[in-house]
Structure 1
Amino acid sequence: MTVRFQRQNEGTVPEAYHIFFEVLKEDNIDAMVKAAWEFFGLPILLTDENYKSICQYPPRKLGQPIWDALLENTALPLDVIQIYNDAYLKDSEPYYKPFYSNEGPSEDCPRIFGEIHSQSRIYGYIGIFFFDSPLLPQDLECTQIFLDALTMLMLPRHGREGASRSSYLKDLLEESTSPEAKALALRSLTSCLPGSYAVMATPIGSTASQQSFAFLAISKIPMRHRCAVSTIYQGCIVTLFGRLGKEGFSPQEREVFQQVATFLSQTHVSSGISHLFSDLTELSGRFQQAHMASLATNEPCVFFQDVFPAPIFEAVCAHVNVNMFLHSALDQLLAYDATNQTEYFRTLQVYSLTLHNKESTAQILCIHRNTLLYRLGKITELFQIPFEEPRTALALLNSFQLYGINTLGRSDFGLY
């Protein structure tokens, strides 16, 4: 059901100047759009340059397809955008003044269209939905005053482009984002950050200072690194790096990651870096890689490839009773060591984790190679564990990895 609006206000040009420029003092876009809704007495829509909704008043469905679609999905399908562009924007001029239309796509709901722009680029669009209300003589002039105020509010915000990209990044990460908004976010980020990508995830902590720093960080990072965009998602600062090489991380790229991680470590947090990837539809999974890497160490910066496969076992430990998956030999060895003051558990643990490398095992345990051979022989004699057989060797390796993560909390599985 379409809502009907009967205008109660016939605002004048002097009133428009007074109201809109008074609201400028609040430095708040939402407040400006709400003031326009109250001034015109009609629904007001503000989008960014990609027709993604920034603000709508009143913030509820009105039974008008375009209005309701933007309220629900935050973005319009490309074919709808093209219909409006073909109908109204055939002029050769790069920018247009506000105009009223009650024909073509606006026949069901007449409206005023307006554009926020500088001399070099477009920043957004406004729509004033008239429904059954008539156009008043001063409406277009008052709309221009509204646009001038919005321009003064939006253009000085040097971080606005970064904020828009940050919003798109969050749209791609959020499972609840509509398909239309995801498609828009994908197009926008791909165009401004082409090439290969990596994700950095930095858990931000829960203190007030950490939260405050996080909001500062997501605006600072893109200013320092033009090929990066950041947002806050699931308790993390998530940074997408673009324009990376295709053959692994170069020393220069690793240096950039280290710089950003060092900047973020001011609040005593660690940052994880995902694998390199080229398809932004993989973003959610790559975030999981980076997030798991960040939890694997206290170092400022850690790469997923350097801690893999620890995250696999961390995921298992988080969802099951790990003791049910450990080889029975582990309990036998621990019990025997406790009673006899031997080190058979530690010996077989290191031997398994080094993939049966005797030289490395002896070096890590700080024992002679002959001592290692004696211990391995005693383990076979006492416990009848066929640890050299491939299937048993794999079961023991997985068991010691699970034990290292679950019991010791070590991403190196307790090897060193």
Structure 2
Amino acid sequence: MDLLVDRAAEVLKNPIAVFDKNYYTVSYSDTTDVQDEVWTAGKKRGYCLFEYAAMLHGVESMRGTPLPFQIFDDWGPHRRRICPLISNSLTIGYLSVLEYHTAFDAVPGEIYDLVAGVLVKELTIEQAIRLSHQHDSAEMLLSSILNEGFANRALFLQRILGTVFEQAGPYSLIGINMHAFSSRVSGERHFKARLGTIFPKAWSLFFREYVVLLVECGKSRQIPQDGLQQLEGYLSEHDLCAGISDTFSDLYEIRRYFNQAAMAEKMARISGSDARIAQYDDYRLWRLAASIPAEQRTDYVSAFLRNLMAYDIDNQSDYVKTLFIYLKNGQSLALTAQELHVHRNTVVYRIEKMRERFGGVFDSPYHNFQNFFGCLLLLTSDGQPGSTDYFDTI
């Protein structure tokens, strides 16, 4: 691979680097004459910074377009041309080209495509070889588990023997959504290092569009509160959000807990919560609602709520939205008004209209729960059934 990468750099007339799908360095071309501190630091590090990994992941959106690459100019003094390496419709790595010796436009696009095709073939072989060897680090082992790289539990248990995970635990998993992250947010790029200072007993890696943080909880079975407070401040500074899974001890099930964290983060955004960190424990009912197929959801929406929904569609009113927030806030008029950004009397008027016009009952815990769950069904299906998204402003 190293020899091939050096030859590819000669063809492209610029230094290149190849990363695998887990954002670890596969190979760099010869960099003895490269005076770009960010580029050379990446080679020494052996893996991508989370900020750079988020940038690489963002290139996925270019797939299937006439321009399957992206050029970045905010990572050091020289531009980078990033291209996903795709095999059988799956991204298996990334090619990064540094505009150092020759302008990008001076090399025909077909040459880039040719180089990428050759690298895909070699990287496929390289990855097959790597799978037959021991993993290089705790993070790479975690990456393998997240990617469901073990055929069965017996192979997994054999692999963790003698590692830091053999006796460790319990854990909780934090998933930080990096989808909207921009490297332009801050000139300082040290996300991984910062996480290491906040949670000394933790391992972090980039998976899909998330920074995944596996935190060892110890006897308390909880993530340290001071760490969560520091993390919340950091997330707020960079306009990021995160979800937290249940506490667990079985690393073989880590993918399940990643899904919990990702679901909590997603549902918190859908609900309009302004919290930077969402606990999965607060969104179990939301996940249940989201799991019901869209075509079956009307079966679980009360007649009262369906009538309310039809009225909203015909009159462009906000009764369903008001009901959802009213029930979510424990029927507090003040909190509902605050969240809707309306006067308290407006909420009183709408609730009374729901009683008089539609026969709403708000003193029955059963009916309140049924209607709240019906609102969740509408919310988690982007306004279905019907063509109007009642919650587009939440």
Q: More relative contact order in 1 or in 2 (CA 8 Å, sep 6+)?
A: 2
Structure with greater Cα Rg: 1
| TM-score, length basis structure 1 | 0.47
